[in-house]
Amino acid sequence: MELRDAYPMGAGIRSWRRTLRLDRGDPAAVVVTDAWELADPGRVDLRLLAAAPVEVVAPGLLHAGGLAIRYDPALLTPAVEAVPLDDDELARVWGPALYRVTLSGQALVASHTLTAGRLLSR
């Protein structure tokens, strides 16, 4: 799906496409891929939220529970922070905190791809 129109015109986003794919291999996974193209190279701050604690496993690879997030470590640097949930209703569903991942960097090129895949139990 094309997400460009979810952002203001001044953001300089030519295209932001999200695809979802079911891989039936072993292990099976649901793979979400974001691919974007900017009008000009510039600063990128991409924010994600996870329900499980996030671990920086290696440059270019994060784990959050059974989720693997892959990004280009030459372009983006991760920062992870716990966001406490003060709302009892939300905390009952999500637990005491969510985890915000910010992938930041100066884009050396005007396009990039981020892939997240969730392992499915059999």
Domain ranges of the chain: 4-119
Give the model confidence (pLDDT) of 8-57 as tens digits: 998 888 898 888 888 888 777 788 888 888 888 778 788 999 999 999 99
Give me the pLDDT at residue 121, please.
46
pLDDT at res. 38:
85
Task: Report H helices in the chain.
Answer: 88-94
Q: What would the two tokens of residue 42 be? A: 């510039």
- pTM exceeding the 0.95 threshold for the entire prediction: no
* CA-wise closest residue to 53 among 94, 95, 99: 99
